Amino acid sequence: MPQPPSSAREEVRATVPGLIDLTERVLFGEVWERPGLSKRDRSLVTCAALIALGREKQLTGHLQRALNNGLTKNELSEVITHLAFYAGWPAAMTAALVAKDVFEPQK
C-alpha cells in the first residue's frame, strides 16, 4: 500500500508533478511493496544511504518512516554511529542532528 504524501511532496507537487507521480506510483507503490525486503529493512537501507550521501532533508522524513516501520531510536542511533567510520564523521554528525530533531518530539 502506498505511503500517504509527505509535506515535502506536497510542497513541490505543482512544480514537478511527474516526479511526484513517479514517487507515489513507482517508488512507494511498487518498489517499497516488493516482497524481497520488509519495510523495516527497506527503511534501514534507505536511512543508511541517505546518511552516507548527506541527504539530510530527505533523511528527516525517512527517519520518521523508519520509526513507523519498526526500527527503534537506539537502532537508528547505532546506524549513524556505525556509518561514521564508512561515510565519514561529518555525515554522521549531520545525521545525528537530524535524528535529534526527529526523535525529540517523541519523548
59-69 per-position pLDDT tens digit:
999 999 999 99
**22 and 2, same domain (yes or no):** yes
Question: Running DSSP on this structure, what letter comes out for residue 87?
Answer: T
Domain of residue 1 covers 1-34
**24 and 48, same domain (yes or no):** no
| Dihedral pair phi/psi, residue 85, rounded to 5° | -85, -15
| Dihedral pair phi/psi, residue 38, rounded to 5° | -70, 160
pLDDT in the model for residue 4: 58
**22 and 59, same domain (yes or no):** no
Q: How confident is the model at residue 1 (pLDDT cuts 50, 70, 90)?
A: very low
**21 and 52, same domain (yes or no):** no
The mean pLDDT value for 76-104 works out to 98
**26 and 55, same domain (yes or no):** no
The mean pLDDT value for 73-80 works out to 98
What's the total number of domains in the chain?
2
**42 and 83, same domain (yes or no):** yes
Instruction: Please give the model's pTM, rounded to 2 decimal places.
Output: 0.88
Which residues are CB-contacts of 104 (< 8 A; sequence separation ≥ 6)? none
